[in-house]
Every structure is written in C-alpha cells, then in structure tokens.
C-alpha cells in the first residue's frame, strides 16, 4: 500500500454523520506501533507495513525524539510515521511532530476536543484514540481528527475489546482498530468492522519493545488477505529471511541513542 498524501487521507465525515462502506479489496492500512529501533522500523517496512508508530508517552516502548528523528530519516517517504502521545501539552506535541517531520500524531489519552482541534490545525494528520464504548465516540467531529482509533480499555495490554462496540459508531473509512490484535484475530476484526486500518504492537513482539520478524510478516499477510488485497501486495517468505538478516546487522548501530524506558504504564 502506498500512503496517499496527507491531504488525500479520509477527512472527518459530514454533518449528516453517514457511515461509509468499505468494499472488499479496498486496501487496509497496516500500522506497526511501539517501534523502538531503526532495525525494527526497517523490518516493519520490509514486511509490508504502511505505517510505524513511535511512543513518546511513559511506556516500556518510550523513545526519545532525537532517536526517532534518526529513524525517520532512514524510512521511505511514503511510510506514514506516527508519534504517539498521551496527555502531553498540545504545544509540545506540535513541536516534536514538526521538528522530527512526522506525518501524523496519535493522541492516546484524555485530550479534550479543544486541545485535539488545536493540534490537528498544526500537524499533517491527527489520529484520536478512544477506548471502545467511550461516550465521546458519539461526537467525534468536535475533535477535528482525520482518523479515529478504537482501542481496548487498557492500551498495550494485549486485550481484545468487543468489536460490536465499534460497529456503526465510527465511519469505517476513518476507523483504525487496535487492542490485542495479532495474526490469528486480525482477519476477524477486518471482517467485522471493515476498517481503514489496523494497529498492532504487542501482538508482533518477541519481547516488549522488540519486534519478531515472523510475527510481523504473519500479521501483515493476514490483514492483506482478509481485506481481499491482491497477492502482489503480500510480502514473500523470502522477505522474512532478508529482513531478519538486515535487522540483526543494523541492531547495534540503531540502538545508539534510542532511549528505551522501563515504565509500568504502557501504550
């Protein structure tokens, strides 16, 4: 999947609140979150991911802005690079995003509609995350976010939420599904919700903050096939071996300056 320019990504739905339909075969965005090293970022891209997420909030996967800057500079331009923030000062969110050159912001806390709008006016794309069933999902347009993520109540826990809580609530053309996804259940999530995208972190890890090449590939393949995409969009088995070798070769160098904090909280 080649990411469209930010201006071509789904915009907030109109005042009528109509829920769109995504046809089978429509390309699904695959986002690998919790990236902590250049090696894992390159691995995700090699395995066919469309987007990678970097956590700036307190977490076992938290990374420093300067480390992310170096990683982003090595990624293809078409990859959607996302900074994940939780209850951060809006001005700080905008400063980090635009200094690094990230293509999107993911607000994954209790940000108000006013603060979300303020950020959205100053960055290329804003993704606002909500727990499944949250009351504020009923007035999404007041937040001004281009995309909406529906997640489990405890982000990063690996827990799956009841997908029925997102049915008919969010326009599928704006919806990113997260929360406990892995290669075994992502197809069911896509079949139920027909989302614009799917997001995974713990479900493709060998350990917290370190991605597993085979799990990443399995997730991407499962998502692509569930969406009915053509086989030429699915990474080959050969790609796993190539990416694994590249990941191992780059690991030592990519970890330099990549601050990884051991927090009890997680996203």
Structure tokens given for 18: 């109509």
Cβ atoms within 10 Å of 254's Cβ, excluding its own: 21
**Catalytic residue set:** 33, 151
Q: Quick check: 45 and 74 in contact, CB under 8 A?
A: no
- Among all chains, which residue has been given the structure tokens 């499962």? 222
- Cα(22)–Cα(47) distance, rounded to whole angstroms? 24
The β-bridge partners of 107 are: 85, 128
CB neighbour list of residue 161: distance below 8 Å, 6 or more residues apart: 131, 132, 133, 150, 151, 152, 153, 179, 180
């Amino acid at each position: 999947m080649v990411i469209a320019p930010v201006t071509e990504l789904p915009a907030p739905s109109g005042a009528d609140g109509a829920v769109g339909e995504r046809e089978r075969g429509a390309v699904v965005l695959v986002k690998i979150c919790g990236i902590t090293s250049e090696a894992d970022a390159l691995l995700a891209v090699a395995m066919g991911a469309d987007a990678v997420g970097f956590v700036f909030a307190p977490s076992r996967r938290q990374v420093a802005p300067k480390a992310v800057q170096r990683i982003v500079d090595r990624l293809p331009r078409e990859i959607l690079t996302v900074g994940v923030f939780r209850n951060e000062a809006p001005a700080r969110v905008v400063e980090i995003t635009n200094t690094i050159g990230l293509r999107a912001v993911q607000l994954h806390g209790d940000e108000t509609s006013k603060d979300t709008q303020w950020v959205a006016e100053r960055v290329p794309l804003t993704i606002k995350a909500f727990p499944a069933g949250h009351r504020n999902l009923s007035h999404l347009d007041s937040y001004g976010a281009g995309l909406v993520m529906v997640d489990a109540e405890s982000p990063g826990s690996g827990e799956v939420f009841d997908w029925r809580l997102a049915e008919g609530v969010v326009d599928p053309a704006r919806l990113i599904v997260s929360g406990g996804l892995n290669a075994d259940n992502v197809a069911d999530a896509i079949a139920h919700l027909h989302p614009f995208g799917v997001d995974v972190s713990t479900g493709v890890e060998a350990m917290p903050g370190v991605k597993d090449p085979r799990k990443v590939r399995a997730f991407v393949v499962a998502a692509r096939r569930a969406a009915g995409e053509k086989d030429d969009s699915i990474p080959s088995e050969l790609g796993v071996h190539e990416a694994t070798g590249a990941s191992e070769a780059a690991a030592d160098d990519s970890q330099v300056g990549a601050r990884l904090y051991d927090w009890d909280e997680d996203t």
